[in-house]
């Protein structure tokens, strides 16, 4: 299963850590997903193959382009477009944005395939927490008149967005797109709690208690 393989990849690469971490939103989380550990060809190759498999399953009939938001979405979109091209047997392009628009050369704030309008795009992200990044991504893509057919994230932390709903549900409802994850935090916990994986018990009783407390405070309402 993709979920189990992705969890093992997170552990092997060190991208999943347990302890106490301050998130971008200022919350103190007992776990942290650091995809900055996608720092080698082997690691990127392994994770992009999983993304490609999931995209092919959920969006394979329509996808034409992958959009990777700067910065962590960039390598994911680039190599996943290659993996997906091999899997689907047709060319899949990639595009990513600059944080600041280029004022020389070709100019603009996009790199890769420049949109002409009408492209069927899947947004590729590493983690969804509060969903705030989509508030920047979706209006940007709308200016190019592309059709966003969905989004895929590596990990859904299942935390609430601006309201009571989970961020994933909020993004899906606001932008009218399906949002798929390779794994959710509940699936990670279910797989790892009090079980030895790769020669180690990653979530013991004390860690599980901290995770339960955190989710009781910050989890969004159950997704439809």
Q: What is the DSSP letter of 107?
A: -
Residues 48/52/54/55 CA torsion (nearest 10 deg): 130
Q: What is the 3-state composition of the chain as percent helix, strand, coil, each rounded to the nearest 5?
A: 40, 30, 30
Catalytic residue chosen out of the listed positions 3, 24, 99, 102: 102
Active site residue 208: no
Please report, for residues 117, 162, 189, the alpha-carbon distance to residue 30 in angstroms, rounded to integers and kept in the order given.
Answer: 43, 21, 12
For residues 59 and 118, give the distance between their C-alpha atoms in angstroms, rounded to a whole number: 16
Chain center to CA of 56: 15
Which residue carries 């079980």 as its tokens?
195
Catalytic residue chosen out of the listed positions 99, 104, 176, 200: 104
Active site residue 99: no
Spatial contact of 182 and 50, defined as CB atoms under 8 Å apart? yes
Q: Which residue numbers are catalytic? A: 102, 104
């Amino acid at each position: 299963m993709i979920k189990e393989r992705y969890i093992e990849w997170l552990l092997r690469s060190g991208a999943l850590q347990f302890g106490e971490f301050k998130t971008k939103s200022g919350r103190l989380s007992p776990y942290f997903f650091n995809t900055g550990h996608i720092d080698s060809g082997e690691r990127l190759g392994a994770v992009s193959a999983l993304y490609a498999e999931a995209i092919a399953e959920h969006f394979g009939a329509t996808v034409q382009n992958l959009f990777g938001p700067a910065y962590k979405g960039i390598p994911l979109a680039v190599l996943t477009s290659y993996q997906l091209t091999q899997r689907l047997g047709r060319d899949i392009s990639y595009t990513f944005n600059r944080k600041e628009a280029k004022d020389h050369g070709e100019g603009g704030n996009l790199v890769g395939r420049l949109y002409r309008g009408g492209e069927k795009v899947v947004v590729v992200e590493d983690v969804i927490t509060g969903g705030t990044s989509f508030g920047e991504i979706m209006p940007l893509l709308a200016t190019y008149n592309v059709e966003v057919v969905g989004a895929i994230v590596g990990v859904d932390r299942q935390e609430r967005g601006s309201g009571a709903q989970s961020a994933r549900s909020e993004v899906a409802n606001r932008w009218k797109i399906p949002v798929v994850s390779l794994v959710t935090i509940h699936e990670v916990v279910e797989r790892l709690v009090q079980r030895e994986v790769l020669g180690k018990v990653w979530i013991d009783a004390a860690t599980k208690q901290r995770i339960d407390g955190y989710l009781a405070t910050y989890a969004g309402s159950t997704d439809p």
